[in-house]
């Protein structure tokens, strides 16, 4: 461990990049404790902690991504998720809208133009989400918790404070992410999300330790259940690492070419196809849709009839799994173009053994990817529903069960693997051994 750290610190460029990244992430954490003007922080914190049902699930998930900034209504209360949402939307539109597709193929100029569209869309999403949040806080009234508006602040002032502060906070986080991309190491936006998720671990551990009862009386957690939770955490983390790095290697042969007395080509290579091609996107979309459906069912049908679509119910879980499978296939179909890959193989003088180049190759790759997408979607469904089952059957809060699966674990593992790969690349460029055993190179997310 100390040997690896010494090798990292010996590379000046890597040392500077890691220092800049660390300092910018500290700025992010400090901003998560700066409250928005005009807000009664105590009432907000109590309300988020005691919210139940669909609303409680939405607030818990949003608070996890913001690193607790939402529950304290800090200036980073919206986090970086509006930017992520805008990026995903334009990523999907680029594959569907011909004008955006042509713009994306224009090179750096086109991608820069799309990035500008994403930034503008982020501002619009922040204004919409901030307005909805401010309106909901103004409309809510709870005799036990009290008003969310600080004393001496009128309604229009409170509305303006919330919308302006949250919008500026998200745009500042977007700027921080871009600075990490340029001067630090790793993907800045992903690192901000990962740090926000990891910041909830001490709170989850504190809740778990406070609920442990060696004698197991009442609704507390026994020591045996704590051991089971630790085993589940290790097993789920290992499974996420394996599925994130997992690939289906398709054998590819290079056509032989005879020049004079020498024969060139004929080497056997492999085309890696990621098992989890869609990454965490299906879970994000599935959660967003089901939260809206659950909230709408509760408001329209009432609490008694709408309970069948509440988080944790049978039909909620079934619909959630089906949505994950659908978006897994949908996003994989957008990202993976078998026709383009088949054409590239043909132009490069390469072919899949036993498969004719062209359309047959494209159909073969499409069939392989369909089976891979089913396996990846099934795994994502298990990861997504694991926290709610653990929370229900082991009597622990979502802050604890959320560490054993769901979006948070996928993001943390994926980002950590990406950072490790980038650091290892710097070490290998400086003739160091990297992190592998006996100098072997480990596989990163993009291997």
pLDDT digits (tens, 9 = 90+) for 322-355: 988 888 888 888 888 888 888 888 888 888 888 8
> Given pLDDT bands bounded at 50, 70 and 90, which one contains residue 407?
confident
Mean of the pLDDT values across residues 176-204? Answer: 86
Could you give the percent of the chain with pLDDT greater than 70? 79
Of 291-300, 396-405, 418-427, the poorest mean pLDDT is in: 291-300
Mean of the pLDDT values across residues 300-319? Answer: 69
**Given a cut of 70, is residue 141 above it in pLDDT?**
no
Q: Which of 123, 116, 122 is nearest to 100 (CA)?
A: 116
Question: Taking the model in full, what pTM does it have?
Answer: 0.78
Provide CB contacts within 8 A for 171, sequence distance 6+: 122, 123, 126
Tell me, what's the pLDDT at 434?
A: 56
CA distance linking residue 109 with residue 97, whole number of Å: 18
Measured CA to CA in angstroms, residue 209 lies from 206, 221, 237, 292, 295 at distances of 5, 9, 21, 34, 32
Task: Quick: pLDDT tens for 227-247.
Answer: 888 888 888 888 888 888 888
Q: Report whether 267 contacts 255 (CB < 8 A).
A: no
- 401 vs 283, more confident: 283
How high is the mean pLDDT of the chain? 79
Mean of the pLDDT values across residues 41-54? Answer: 71
Domain with CATH 1.10.3370.10 in the chain: 16-199, 218-447
CA distance linking residue 168 with residue 160, whole number of Å: 12
**Given a cut of 50, is residue 440 above it in pLDDT?**
no
**Given a cut of 90, is residue 123 above it in pLDDT?**
yes
Tell me, what's the pLDDT at 261?
A: 66
- Which CATH superfamily hosts domain 16-199? SecY subunit domain (1.10.3370.10)
Tell me, what's the pLDDT at 213?
A: 61
Assess if CATH 1.10.3370.10 describes domain 218-447.
Answer: yes
Q: Report whether 28 contacts 195 (CB < 8 A).
A: yes
């Amino acid at each position: 461990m100390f040997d690896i750290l010494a090798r990292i610190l010996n590379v000046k460029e890597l040392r500077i990049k890691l220092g800049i990244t660390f300092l910018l992430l500290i700025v992010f954490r400090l901003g998560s404790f700066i409250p928005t003007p005009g807000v009664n922080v105590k009432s907000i914190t109590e309300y988020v902690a005691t919210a139940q049902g669909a609303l409680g699930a939405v607030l818990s998930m949003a608070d996890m991504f913001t690193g607790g900034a939402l529950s304290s209504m800090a200036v980073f209360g919206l986090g970086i998720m509006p930017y992520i949402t805008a990026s995903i939307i334009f990523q999907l539109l680029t594959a569907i809208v011909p004008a955006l597709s042509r713009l994306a193929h224009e090179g750096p100029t086109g991608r820069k133009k799309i990035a500008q569209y994403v930034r503008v869309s982020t501002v619009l999403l922040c204004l919409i989400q901030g307005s909805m949040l401010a309106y909901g806080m103004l409309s809510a009234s709870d005799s036990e918790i009290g008003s969310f508006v600080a004393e001496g602040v009128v309604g229009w002032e409170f509305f303006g404070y919330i919308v302006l502060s949250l919008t500026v906070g998200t745009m500042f986080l977007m700027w921080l992410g871009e600075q990490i991309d340029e001067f630090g190491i790793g993907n800045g936006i992903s690192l901000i999300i990962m740090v926000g998720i990891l910041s909830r671990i001490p709170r989850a551990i504190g809740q778990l330790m406070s609920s442990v009862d060696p004698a197991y009386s009442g609704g507390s957690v026994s020591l045996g259940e704590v051991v089971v939770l630790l085993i589940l955490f290790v097993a789920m983390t290992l499974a996420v690492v394996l599925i994130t790095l997992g690939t289906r290697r398709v054998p590819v042969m290079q056509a032989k070419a005879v020049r004079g007395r020498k024969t060139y080509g004929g080497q056997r290579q492999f085309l890696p196809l990621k098992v989890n091609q869609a990454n965490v996107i299906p879970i994000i979309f599935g959660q967003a849709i089901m939260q809206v459906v659950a909230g709408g069912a509760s408001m329209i049908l009432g609490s008694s009839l709408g309970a069948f679509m509440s988080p944790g119910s049978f039909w909620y879980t079934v619909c959630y799994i089906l949505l994950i499978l659908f978006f897994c296939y949908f996003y994989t179909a957008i990202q993976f173009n078998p026709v383009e890959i088949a054409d590239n193989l043909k132009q490069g003088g390469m072919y899949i053994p036993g498969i004719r180049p062209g359309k047959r190759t494209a159909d073969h790759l499409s069939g392989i990817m369909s089976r891979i997408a089913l396996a990846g979607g099934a795994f994502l469904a298990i990861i997504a529903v694991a926290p709610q089952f653990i929370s229900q059957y082991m009597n622990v809060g979502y802050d604890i069960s959320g560490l054993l699966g769901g979006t948070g674990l996928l993001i943390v593992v994926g980002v950590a693997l990406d950072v490790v790969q980038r650091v290892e690349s710097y070490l290998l460029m400086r003739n160091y051994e990297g992190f592998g055993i006996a100098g072997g190179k480990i596989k990163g997310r993009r291997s």
